[in-house]
Chains A and B, each alone.
Chain A
Amino acid sequence: MALTLADVARIAHLARLDIDATEAQAVHAKLESIFALIDALDTVDTAGVEPMAHAQDTAMPLRDDVVTETDQHALFQRGAPAVTDGLYLVPRVVE
Chain B
Amino acid sequence: MTWETVIGLETHAQLSTAAKIFSGASTAFGAAPNSQAAAVDLALPGVLPVLNRGAVERAIRFGLAVGATIHRRSVFARKNYFYPDLPKGYQISQFEIPVVVGGSIGILSPSRGEMRVNLTRAHLEEDAGKSLHEDFHGMSGIDLNRAGTPLLEIVTEPDMRSADEAVAYARALHALVRWIGICDGNMQEGSFRCDANVSVRRTGATTLGTRCEIKNLNSFRFMQEAIDHEVRRQIELIEDGGTVVQETRLYDPDRRETRSMRSKEDAQDYRYFPDPDLPPLMIDEAWIDRVRGEMPELPEAMQARWRTAYALPAADAQALTASRELAAYFEVAARTAGGEARIVANWVLGDLAAALNRGGVEIAHAAVSANALAGLIRRIGDGTISGRIAKDVFEAMWQGEATGDDAADVIIARKGLRQIADVGAIEKIVDDALAANAAIVAEYKAGKEKAFNSLVGKVMAASKGKANPAQVNAILKQKLG
Contacts and interface: CB of A to CB of B under 8 A. Distances in A.
A85 B33 contact: yes
Given A63-B52, A86-B33, A69 B280 contact: no
A95 interface: yes
B106 interface: no
Interface string B383-422: 0000000000000000000000000000000000000000
A59 B262 CA distance: 39
A68 B35 contact: no
Contacts, number: 135
Interface stretch (B130-138, B293-301, B340-348): B130-138
A90 interface: yes
A62 B84 CA distance: 28
Contacts of B140: 89-94
B136 A53 contact: no
Contact of B26 (A54, A59, A69, A91): A69
Query: How big is the B interface, by class?
Result: 35 or more
Contacts of B278: 54, 60
Interface in A40-95: 51, 53-56, 58-69, 71-73, 76-77, 82, 84-95
User: Which of A65, A67, A69 has the most chain B CB atoms inside 10 A of its CB?
Assistant: A65
Given A86-B35, A87-B141, A88-B141, A61 B276 contact: no
Contact of B37 (A51, A53, A63, A76): A76
Contacts of A72: 38-39
B54 A65 contact: yes
Interface in B98-136: 131-133, 136
Contacts of B39: 72, 76
B280 A73 contact: no
Interface residues of A, number: 38
A63 B57 CA distance: 12
A67 B24 contact: yes
Interface string B259-288: 001100000010100101011111000000
Nearest to B77: A53
A89 B25 contact: no
Interface of B: 17-19, 23-26, 32-39, 42, 44, 50-56, 75-76, 80, 82-84, 96-97, 131-133, 136-144, 261-262, 269, 271, 274, 276, 278-282
Interface of A: 10, 14, 16, 51, 53-56, 58-69, 71-73, 76-77, 82, 84-95
Given A59-B281, A86-B35, A88-B34, 20 more contacts: A14-B269, A55-B276, A56-B279, A61-B51, A62-B51, A65-B18, A66-B24, A71-B35, A72-B39, A76-B39, A77-B34, A84-B136, A86-B34, A88-B142, A88-B144, A89-B136, A89-B140, A90-B84, A91-B140, A95-B262
In the A-B complex, list the 9 residue pairs whose CB atoms are closest, starting with the nearest: A65-B54, A68-B24, A87-B141, A86-B33, A69-B38, A59-B282, A88-B142, A73-B34, A71-B35
